[in-house]
Chains A and B, each alone.
Chain A
Amino acid sequence: MRISFISAQRERRRGFLARLAALWVVPFFGARGAGAQETIEAIVPSVKDITRGAPLRPGKVQLEMPLLADNGHVVPLKVTVQSAMTAADHVRGITILSERNPRPVIARFQLGPRAGRAEILTRVRLAGSQRVVAVAAMSDGAFWYATAEVTVTESACLDQS
């Protein structure tokens, strides 16, 4: 009887330890995006050169990219920033950054009140599945950002034509 009681205890302890281990493992496989675990500076460290310590907040920026790219060589991108685009309140510039490309800064655009609308369309190269970040610098010195996550797959057939 004593032996079986101790075994039962051991069993319960093992079960408890297993559940405790699971608690540690699960968060690392949670959803991506700049959540509580990961700051935007962790995703694209180069953003610090743009903001130089000024606060960087999500919002005002819309970054539209396909969820699944046809080919990493050419991925369409559309960035729009909500702004009146007046002399007093406008977007000074937009920077596009990549999480995984060998060169993190994809492009820098300078706008101004003459733009009328802070919207740019272009096509980018993505070196594999990753997040892309668009940072808008406003005339009042504030910085806003948005991210987009794009899946880029390998071509079905290699091509050395």
Chain B
Amino acid sequence: MAPITFLEAIRQALFEEMAADPRVVVIGEDVSVYGGAFKVTEGLLEKFGWERVIDTPISESAIIGAACGMSYLGLRPVAEMQFIDFIACCFNQLTNFVAKGHYLWNAPAPMVVRGPSGGGVHGGPFHSANPEMYFLHTPGLKIVYPSTPYDAKGLMKASIRDNNPVLFFEHKFLYRRIKEEIPADDYIVPLGKAVVRREGKHLTILSYAAMMHTSLEAADALAKEGIDAEVIDLRTLLPLDEETILQSVKKTNKCLVVHEDTKTGGIAGEIAAILSEKAFHDLDGPLVRVTSLDTPVPYAPTLEEAFLPNAQKVFTAARELAHF
């Protein structure tokens, strides 16, 4: 198999799930003839027709509401947010209705909400968001944020087959920048399982999505200085794989969290709390955060670069923590 891009991996997952399961439909803005703003749904219309590839008006609440209604009759809709920033427009529909259904009235909503997220492509303040933490605080949702083509495909398939509403964040910086050979056979990557990307013993670096690659780059640089970092890709943020995190930190005794989301209220804070509760005596240093600044995502390349974490920032923070 020739290597495929991150974007192609997601497209393949949609394609294969739709072919295998007539319950799966795609709904969103410009998803049919145009194939979506980033072409993730390209080719689906030709194969699966108008009934299963549904264009909508610019109405995010209607997209989520309709997808939810469809799921109640046993369908498995995959709803696209043209940019994940726009998920804010249907916040109420998602958090107050979709997410609460199973707990309150025994109504599972098997649906996926997917969309391009993240910065680094000069998208500016309304097309670069990492809004995962708004939803991490919402019981009933699952949150997936993959970093490799293999994971993107396997996690998308697992998300579609899951009986719960899953938010699937696709970092747009990765769409066409990384390629990977992936198996031809049907496979899934289970939700709620992190993966160790690089083994090490001096400190643990936890990350996900585009920052996973940044963290690996930093780990390479650290290795040249004799610092052996273990890098873990969280993959699913909700539910969070505490077991893998704790196992690693109990081995390395130090933890650095790298995320592209802004600092205050980011998942690093949640992880710090978990470690404080469950691995306090294993820690030989403070939990360190490398994150974006607590500002909107600025537009100018010089500003966005200052806003985002990068390998140098991770390297510096990790080295300091290793020597703590």
Q: Do A and B bind each other?
A: no
Which residues does A use to contact B, with CB under 8 Å?
A: none
